[in-house]
């Protein structure tokens, strides 16, 4: 049996039975052993290619030997021409496909232009949401479409629809998608532009990175970083603005239970909590008050910058939270702090009793209690459990605390006279509003915080206008700075005198009219002679007349 082989380009090369190479042969003769098996390659495929070729390929192979007059150069040119033709054809196909896809996209844009749902559709969604959870994908797509319309409202809005209708639907959808209360979303929409609001809400769904602060009273940041890396902690420096902070990406050991933590080499502390102490800039041998100190991270950072010199009064109104303060101060090796449990609003009364101890601080740090709208990623319950009363209650407490903090500072201090006010809230009522109130009630002015980054505070908000110096305050947001929402303002006190309010002179002015009433003795006699009308007018004034007569009887000897 003969195994035929298809010819290839040029001369074919075959092996004979004795192993010699034969050129130009087209058939293989029968071997001596008479085996009729075909040659098989390593992968088990048959060596005969005729069975695998298509009829068109076989015809092409038959034509190639006939055209033996053409050289290799001609065949190469033909192949190149074929390739060019194939490339042109593919390009034309790609162009047609792109045009078709572009046309389809335009058609989709025209067909899927955002339209406000009718009231019936909204009622159906409300009924369905009571029995089953809402379709978040549909709500998210509707938020996107609504945002696109609001960004170019004049061109993309529906006829007869107002902007308020689009905003009401957007607020409703965002409340359902991000699980916020309608009140809080209205407040946030007043603060942020719409594109930035979406970024803020998305950032609140992601936890902030874990950060630690090196305790330079016991170690250096470089040595601490090397020790933690050896324990399997992946970390980096926090940023150029901080010389002690480290950010933790992941760890094979609990970061709050390492030997370094127990030895007080570092403190678990958010990046935004470092900023108020940096703005306060405490100096050595100063007397400093931390009015709301729990859990002690800022107090220990102040002691660290003061190198355990001077005196720090760490105060908090919650006795239970002071336990953590005492534990952290002992663990971190702080020796210049005194812990007290007083209400910050009662400091003037306490200071009058112990003026030598609690009066005349060089600097005061007030991290005021707030609504917590800047730390929603840590406490998601803030999304729904805050209302207007909570915001106003916090604002009233903050106004009381900031006035007492200012009164606790000595304006004549050689190195100080500064007050730093900060909150973990983004509400204007708790930040700029309180600062503007303090500027009106006390002899203080705003100064630069010394922080190179952060957004400027508001000088106008809706129908309110604040002092122009509020530009020196700083706001920090999770979606722009990747840290908790924070507000920082720094005051400089230039006089210890308290400005007189409008109520005090009114009280003093009310006293002088009593003197002419007593001096005018003939008035009762005139009233008796006037008749019945005068008697009717005197009836409701009889108790007052009795008092005046008694006063006159007592003072007559003095006049004589």
**Residue 295 among known ligand-binding residues:** yes
| Distance (Å, whole) CA 485 – CA 393 | 20
Q: Which of 312, 304, 280 is nearest to 220 (CA)?
A: 304
**Residue 69 among known ligand-binding residues:** no
State how far the alpha carbon of 47 is from the alpha carbons of 3, 11, 63, 280, 504, in Å.
9, 18, 22, 87, 113
Q: Is the peptide bond before 408 cis (omega within 30 degrees of 0)?
A: no
**Residue 103 among known ligand-binding residues:** no
**Residue 296 among known ligand-binding residues:** yes
Q: 342, 394, 424, 549: which one is catalytic?
A: 424
Catalytic residue check, 424: yes
Token pair listed for 82:
């074929």
Quick one: CA dihedral 329, 332, 333, 336, positive or negative? negative
Contacts of 242 (CB under 8 A, 6+ apart): 271, 274, 278
**Residue 297 among known ligand-binding residues:** yes
> Which helix (DSSP H) or strand (DSSP E) does residue 365 occupy?
strand 363-367
Token pair listed for 245:
């902070």
- Greatest Cα pair distance, the chain, in angstroms, is 165
**Residue 543 among known ligand-binding residues:** no
Under a CB-based contact definition with an 8 Å cutoff, are residues 247 and 255 in contact? no
Q: SS3 of 289, please?
A: strand
DSSP state string for 172-241: HHHHHHHT--HHHHHHHHHHS-HHHHHHHHHHHTSPPPEEEEE-TTT--HHHHHHHHHHTTEEEEE--TT
| Distance (Å, whole) CA 340 – CA 296 | 12
Q: Which of 202, 199, 183, 200 is nearest to 383 (CA)?
A: 183
Under a CB-based contact definition with an 8 Å cutoff, are residues 395 and 371 in contact? no
**Residue 316 among known ligand-binding residues:** yes
Compute the half-sphere exposure of residue 120: CA atoms within 13 Å on the CB side of its CA.
0
Under a CB-based contact definition with an 8 Å cutoff, are residues 301 and 215 in contact? no
**Residue 298 among known ligand-binding residues:** yes
**Residue 292 among known ligand-binding residues:** yes
**Residue 354 among known ligand-binding residues:** no
Contacts of 181 (CB under 8 A, 6+ apart): 175, 383, 384, 386, 387
Q: Which of 257, 193, 209, 192 is nearest to 231 (CA)?
A: 257
State how far the alpha carbon of 261 is from the alpha carbons of 210, 228, 528, in Å.
14, 10, 89
User: How far does CA 100 lie from the centroid of its chain?
Assistant: 43
Q: In three state form, how does the secondary structure of 135-156 look?
A: CHHHHHHHHHHHHHHHHCHHHH
Feature table: binding site for S-adenosyl-L-methionine: 292-298, 316, 343, 367
- Give the residue numbers marked as catalytic: 424
Feature table: binding site: 292-298, 316, 343, 367
């Amino acid at each position: 049996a003969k195994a035929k082989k298809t010819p290839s380009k040029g001369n074919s090369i075959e092996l004979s039975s004795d192993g010699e190479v034969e050129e130009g042969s087209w058939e293989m003769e029968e071997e001596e052993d008479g085996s009729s098996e075909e040659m098989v390659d390593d992968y088990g495929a048959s060596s005969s290619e005729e069975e695998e070729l298509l009829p068109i390929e076989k015809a092409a192979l038959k034509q190639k030997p006939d055209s033996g007059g053409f050289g290799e150069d001609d065949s190469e040119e033909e192949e190149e021409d074929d390739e060019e033709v194939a490339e042109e054809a593919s390009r034309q196909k790609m162009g047609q496909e792109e045009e078709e896809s572009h046309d389809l996209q335009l058609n989709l844009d025209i067909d899927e232009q955002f339209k406000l749902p009718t009231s019936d559709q909204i009622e159906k969604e409300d009924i369905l949401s009571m029995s089953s959870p809402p379709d978040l994908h549909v709500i998210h797509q509707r938020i996107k479409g609504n945002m696109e319309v609001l960004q170019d409202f004049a061109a993309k809005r529906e006829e007869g629809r107002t902007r308020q209708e689009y905003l009401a639907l957007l607020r409703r959808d965002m409340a359902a998608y991000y699980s916020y209360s309608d009140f809080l979303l209205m407040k946030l929409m007043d603060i942020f532009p719409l594109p930035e609001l979406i970024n803020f809400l998305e950032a609140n769904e992601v936890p902030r990175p874990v950060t630690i602060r090196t305790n330079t009273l016991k170690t250096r940041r470089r040595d601490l970083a090397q020790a933690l890396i050896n324990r399997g902690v992946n970390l980096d420096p926090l940023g150029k603005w901080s010389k002690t902070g480290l950010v933790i990406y992941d760890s094979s050991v609990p970061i709050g239970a390492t030997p370094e933590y127990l030895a007080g080499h570092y403190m678990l502390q958010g990046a935004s909590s470092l900023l108020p102490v940096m703005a306060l800039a405490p100096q050595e041998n100063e007397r400093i008050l931390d009015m709301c100190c729990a859990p002690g991270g800022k107090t220990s950072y102040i002691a660290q910058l003061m190198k355990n010199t001077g005196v720090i009064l760490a105060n908090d109104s919650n006795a239970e939270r002071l336990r953590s303060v005492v534990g952290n101060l002992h663990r971190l090796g702080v020796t210049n702090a005194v812990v007290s449990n007083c209400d910050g609003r009662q400091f003037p009364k306490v200071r009058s009793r112990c003026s030598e101890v609690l009066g005349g601080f060089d600097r005061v740090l007030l991290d005021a209690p707030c609504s917590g709208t800047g730390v929603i990623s840590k406490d998601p319950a803030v999304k729904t459990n805050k209302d207007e009363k909570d915001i106003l209650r916090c604002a009233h407490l903050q106004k009381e605390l900031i006035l007492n903090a200012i009164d606790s500072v000595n304006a004549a201090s050689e190195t100080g006279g500064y007050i730093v006010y900060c909150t973990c809230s983004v509400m204007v009522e708790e930040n700029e509003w309180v600062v503007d109130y303090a500027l009106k009630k006390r002899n203080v002015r705003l100064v630069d915080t010394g922080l190179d980054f952060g957004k400027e505070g508001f000088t106008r908000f809706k129908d309110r206008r604040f002092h122009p110096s509020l530009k020196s305050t700083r706001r920090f947001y999770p979606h722009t700075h990747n840290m908790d929402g924070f507000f920082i303002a720094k005051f400089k006190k230039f006089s210890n005198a308290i400005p007189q309010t409008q109520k005090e002179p009114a009280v003093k002015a009310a006293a002088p009219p009593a003197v002419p009433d007593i001096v005018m003795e003939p008035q009762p006699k005139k009233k008796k002679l006037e008749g019945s009308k005068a008697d009717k007018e005197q009836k409701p004034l009889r108790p007052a007349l009795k008092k005046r007569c008694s006063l006159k009887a007592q003072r007559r000897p003095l006049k004589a």
